[in-house]
Amino acid sequence: MDITTLNLKDNYYYQQWQNLVQNEGLVIENLADITETLGIYDGDKLIATGSYFENVLKYLAIDPDYQGGNTFNKIVSTLINELAAQNVFHIFVFTKPKYKKSFEYLGFQIIAETEFSALLETGDYSIGQYIKSLPKVTGQNISAIVMNANPFTLGHRYLVEQASKQSDYVYLFVVNQDASLFTTQERIDLIKQGVADLGNVIVVSGDQYMVSFVTFPAYFIKSRADVAKYQTQLDAKVFKRVASALHINRRFVGNEPYSPTTEIYNRSMKQILPPEISLDILDRKAIDNDIISATKVRKAIQESNLEAVQKYVPETTFKFIKNNLPVLLRRIHNGN
């Protein structure tokens, strides 16, 4: 029984793969979120498969007649080696709770779990090391904000100001995923510049544990509502784990009149975070009844309308956009 790479663009392989994956009760979302797929055959029959996207294992399925043997170990092990050959050693898997044990048996460690899904990791880094790397503070009221800030607007500024006023310290976790118009480094820099005058705000990277392709792929890839629901619940659980280690007892978020995914996210947090962490959902800041949003800023950039950009962002962000307009336009043109 040899392992081969499956070319899912070929209908013959796709049909076999789809049957196996769907028989195991997995929902196929989008082939764009698969980098490579491996399969094991017994004769002409596909009996096991597994895929990965970046450093996340996905769509692991084994024919019921072959479960419980070495097949599972073989497919997971081959995926790990395949990623190692690309210098990827820190690997996640997003799976059903019933498979948790099978992964733990292969050295994976649980990060968080809900009744619908479990997130595990293995390799040369862990959530424990991430937590250890974060600066620690002491206080009665420690809050947190998680933001992508693509880019940092006056709306973000308002949210941070409110949190800053009402807390001893505010951890500002920046989404660390280069899937936005502004790169992670640019977003971090603009946030740091934009909150520099607020002494109790600590800007840190959310690493792969806060709203990343790992915890919350639906944030970046259009997905069905139920998918977003179980992902956001898991993301909220991961947040809770990090937050409890830092004694965070409050989280501030902006309400989201435009994005259904963010709306689902806020609902999941309301369900998962209390009582240890209270959730403050603030109304978005508006200028003359015009709600500030990063989406509007990006649209204004696309139209090269600097006047509109200036209306929504602090001076620091504006300067950056003005100085880098050709680069940003090029990125939009290239489909970022």
By CB under 8 A, residue 89 contacts another protein: yes
**One-letter amino acid of 29:** E
The interface mask with another protein, positions 21-60, x = CB under 8 A, is: ----------------------------------------
| CB contact set of 241 (below 8 Å; sequence gap of 6+) | 111, 112, 127
Nearer to another protein, 71 or 262 (CB): 71
Nearer to another protein, 1 or 225 (CB): 1
* Distance separating alpha carbons of residues 110 and 101, to the nearest angstrom: 10
- Tell me which DSSP letter residue 282 carries: E
By CB under 8 A, residue 67 contacts another protein: no
- Find the binder of another protein among 4, 19, 30, 73 (CB under 8 A): 73
Identify which of 186, 184, 194 has the alpha carbon closest to the alpha carbon of residue 155. Answer: 194
By CB under 8 A, residue 78 contacts another protein: yes
Phi, psi of 277 (to 5 degrees): -125, 125
**One-letter amino acid of 132:** K
Angle at 120 between CA 70 and CA 276, to 5 degrees: 150
By CB under 8 A, residue 2 contacts another protein: no
Identify which of 186, 198, 154 has the alpha carbon closest to the alpha carbon of residue 288. Answer: 154
By CB under 8 A, residue 74 contacts another protein: yes
Nearer to another protein, 1 or 327 (CB): 1
Nearer to another protein, 36 or 123 (CB): 123
Nearer to another protein, 41 or 158 (CB): 41
* Distance separating alpha carbons of residues 116 and 305, to the nearest angstrom: 45
* Distance separating alpha carbons of residues 40 and 43, to the nearest angstrom: 9
By CB under 8 A, residue 310 contacts another protein: no
By CB under 8 A, residue 133 contacts another protein: no
Q: Total binding residues for another protein by CB under 8 A?
A: 16
Residue pair 193/231 in contact (Cβ under 8 Å)? The answer is: no
The interface mask with another protein, positions 145-174, x = CB under 8 A, is: ------------------------------
Nearer to another protein, 73 or 244 (CB): 73
The interface mask with another protein, positions 238-277, x = CB under 8 A, is: ----------------------------------------
| CB contact set of 322 (below 8 Å; sequence gap of 6+) | 306
* Distance separating alpha carbons of residues 15 and 234, to the nearest angstrom: 31
Site for another protein in 96-125 (CB under 8 A): 106-107, 122-124
Angle at 277 between CA 248 and CA 222, to 5 degrees: 100
**Residue numbers at the binding site for another protein (CB under 8 A):** 70, 73-74, 76-78, 80-81, 84, 87, 89, 106-107, 122-124
